[in-house]
Amino acid sequence: MARMIRPLANVHEQLRRLPGIGSKTALRLAYHIIDMPEEEVRRLAETLLEAKRQIRLCDICYNLTDAETCEVCGNAGRDHSVVCVVEQPQDVMAMERSRGYNGVYHVLHGVLSPLDGIGPDNLRVKELLRRLQGDTVREVIIATNSDVEGEATAAYLAQLLKPVGIVISRIAHGLPVGGDLEYADELTLSRALENRHRM
């Protein structure tokens, strides 16, 4: 035989589709799940479905939320005049962990990627423009990643937002704090040099 029984093969197939889960890991997980008490498998399955049902996008910034607006947008103590534009909800989490930012966010849900057919209409760009009407916002910080797509998206947004007449800035790239100059990659190093500032 060497072939798996159908229900096990189904679990294996479903798990393999998850990012970063290869065939062997999926099989190990499948065997583990089949070995779990039924009650626990039910809890796992229901947790996934519940999360999918309860989580929606914030009406204002499009971050994940289980309410109409997310905790950041609903917080009067945050500076609503500064909007940090990020690619994904994960990026909001990373920024919040740093505790260095008191403004609000705007989640694009992706980056421009013409080769994958992803243009501005597939991102929350219209929604960003709409947010900038009125005069609440005085600065937009573009914090997309520094890979090719992230840089292209940053450049596109900077161009697009220029006529709005507010400050557009880009998050700084340079040497990671605590990182050794000796071990920095060339791109990071040349970026750190470019972005040098007077002391």
The set of residues, in sequence order, having a beta carbon less than 8 Å from that of 171 and lying 6+ positions away, is 84, 141, 142, 143
Cβ closest to its own copies, residue 10 vs residue 190: 10
Site string for its own copies, 150-179 (x = CB under 8 A): ------------------------------
Closer to its own copies by CB, 149 or 161: give it: 149
DSSP string for 158-186: HHHHGGGTSEEEE----PPTT--GGG--H
- The pattern of x and - marking residues 55 through 84 that bind its own copies according to CB under 8 A reads x--------xxx---xxx------------
Q: Please state, in angstroms and rounded to a whole number, the distance separating the CA atoms of residues 33 and 74.
A: 39
For helices 6-16 and 23-35, what crossing angle results, to 10°? 130
User: What's the rounded Cα separation, in Å, for the pair 192 and 128?
Assistant: 29
Q: Which one among 26, 30, 86, 128 touches its own copies, defined by CB under 8 A? A: 30
Which is nearer to its own copies, 41 or 189 (by Cβ)?
Answer: 41
| Whether the Cβ atoms of residue 36 and residue 30 lie closer than 8 Å to each other | no
- Give the position of tokens 């798990």: 15
Binds its own copies by CB under 8 A, chosen from 59, 76, 79, 89: 89
Token digits of residue 82: 């500064």
In the complex, the smallest distance separating the C-beta of residue 90 from its own copies, rounded to whole angstroms, is: 6
Looking at beta carbons only, is 104 or 168 nearer to its own copies? 104
> In terms of Cα–Cα distance, which of 84, 87, 64, 60 is closest to 74?
60
Report residue 123 CA to chain centroid gap.
12
Instruction: For its own copies, give the closer residue by CB, 110 or 120.
Output: 110
- Residue 10 CB, nearest distance to its own copies (Å)? 5
Binding residues vs its own copies (CB under 8 A): 1-2, 4-8, 10-11, 14, 18-21, 25, 27-34, 36, 38, 41-55, 64-66, 70-72, 88-90, 93, 96-97, 99
